[in-house]
Amino acid sequence: MPYAVHFLIVFAILAVGAVAYMIRLRRQARARLNLLDGLISGTSDGVLTVDARGVVIGVNVAAARMFGQTDGAQADIALSDLLPEMPAGDVLADATFRMDAVRANGVAFPVEVSCVGPGEQGGNTRILLVHDLSRVRAGVTDDEHRFKQSQYFARIGTWDWRVDTDELYWSDAIYGMFGYKPGEVTPSYSLFCDAVHPDDRERVRQGELRCIETGENHDEEYRVVWPDGHIRWLRETGNVIKDGTGETVKMMGVVRDITEEREASDQIRDLAFNDPLTRLPNRIIFEDRLSKAIERAKRHKKRVAVVFIDLDGFKQINDQRGHAAGDRILIATGQRLMSAVRASDTVARIGGDEFTVVLEDLETDAEVHGLADKILGAVSAPMASDDKTYQVGASLGISIYPEHARTLDTLIHLADQAMYAAKAEGTNLYRIGAGGAE
């Protein structure tokens, strides 16, 4: 083989090996950069990249949150705007400084700044690591740590608000109550207000102003809307802190998540005041609404009718077809009664197969007769269930305020008597007061 050919083959092999080695080095460098980018993005400390002019040309997510601006908003601004006390020019790698930083709203906060080395552009840039000391207290004992943990699990947190600024402190437990991880956002009064449910916001604000102006204890229950749309109930209590001149400078207090308590309370209230089968109001709510309807009628010189309804033929179906079929008939009857009357009227189930209706704002006898006929037609129409058709009748008794009585007990008694009188004469009949069956 000629010498020249041999030389070319060796050169080609060396060239291929060099190219492969360079590709490997570039892949390793890219992997290191990707790892560095991941670490910078994921760290809880702020990372600032600063060029030779002292201009911030890059920030990570933590820095954006720390300085109270949106992601990337700090880029291309002077480092002295964020860290006024930071030495200008080159500093030694691994040098550490303690100083005050400045948030976007002008509030100063303590930080520890470390110069961790040059940036990607070598000596033309430097990377600064910023640790927020306002979130850290030296000498935290195990007992204090356990106390913070107990706050978190008990869903109780402490807060501190300077009333003359937007500055707000949250203990770690409060972040979760607003749908955040500890340290994920910078607490501020405006952030708090935006999180409160729009329907509760003004009431909470007025309660805080009343506490500031009068010194009365602050105690409010309100809803908050999480970033993902979830709604939670919180209870906030607190009071004011005054300076030596008697001027209010702070509000401090605790907040607690009461969502489960509210849900349990609502369930108990529902069981206490609503029929568990039909979900209609029970006798307690029926009498309460009748009492209020009588008061309104007295003030506005209107009429109120009380209707007692007893189903005819229900017992036979319940005995022959079983309680499940009977329950379906009762549920359907309640729904039909709701559809037959006006939205302002009240339908209730007071026990067994007995229902009541409170009819308000009546002007004429014709209205009473028309509604009674509509109720009978709705209840007595055939209803299908489990591929079977059932039909029940109804007997109605009606008493009217103020013609027949002016008190709740007497109106109920007369309507009950009228219903039994109608039932004695047949089915699908109604009787008004002391009159005959219709």
- What share of the chain in percent tops pLDDT 90? 40
Q: State how far the Cα of 272 lies from the Cα of 266, in Å rounded to an integer.
A: 10
Give the residues across from 359 on adjacent strands: 305
One-letter amino acid at 45 equals D
- How do residues 116-158 score in pLDDT, each as one tens digit? 766 554 557 788 888 887 765 544 454 544 445 444 454 578 8
Q: Which of 43-47, 115-119, 176-180, 240-244 is the least confident region?
A: 115-119
One-letter amino acid at 70 equals T
Mean pLDDT (whole number) for 207-223:
90
CB within 8 Å of 367: residues ≥ 6 apart: 359
Cis peptide leading into 198, omega within 30 of 0?
no
Tell whether pTM > 0.85: no
Determine if residue 246 is left, alpha or beta; phi over 0 gives left, psi from -120 to 50 gives alpha, anything else beta: left
Mean pLDDT (whole number) for 50-70:
82
CB within 8 Å of 314: residues ≥ 6 apart: 326, 329, 330, 353, 392
Tokens coding 76: 């291309």
Between helix 283-300 and helix 408-425 the angle, nearest 10°, is: 110
Burial class of residue 161 (count of CB atoms within 10 Å of its CB; 0-12, 13-18, 19+): buried
Please tell me the predicted confidence (pLDDT) of residue 405.
Answer: 93
Q: State how far the Cα of 291 lies from the Cα of 282, in Å rounded to an integer.
A: 14
Please tell me the predicted confidence (pLDDT) of residue 150.
Answer: 46
Q: Which of 38-42, 156-160, 202-206, 257-261 is the least confident region?
A: 38-42
Higher-pLDDT residue of 381, 73: 381
- How do residues 321-342 score in pLDDT, each as one tens digit? 888 889 999 999 999 999 999 9
Q: Give, in degrees to the nearest 5, the angle at Cα 285 between 334 and 421.
A: 60
Please tell me the predicted confidence (pLDDT) of residue 110.
Answer: 84
- Checking if the pLDDT of 172 tops 70, the result is yes
Tokens coding 208: 């805080």
Tokens coding 321: 């077809």
303 neighbors 297 (Cβ within 8 angstroms):
yes
Higher-pLDDT residue of 92, 100: 100
Please tell me the predicted confidence (pLDDT) of residue 25.
Answer: 46
204 neighbors 196 (Cβ within 8 angstroms):
yes
Q: State how far the Cα of 158 lies from the Cα of 258, in Å rounded to an integer.
A: 15
Give the residues across from 252 on adjacent strands: 160, 239
- Checking if the pLDDT of 350 tops 80, the result is yes
CB within 8 Å of 230: residues ≥ 6 apart: 179
- Checking if the pLDDT of 319 tops 60, the result is yes
N-term to C-term CA, the chain: 127
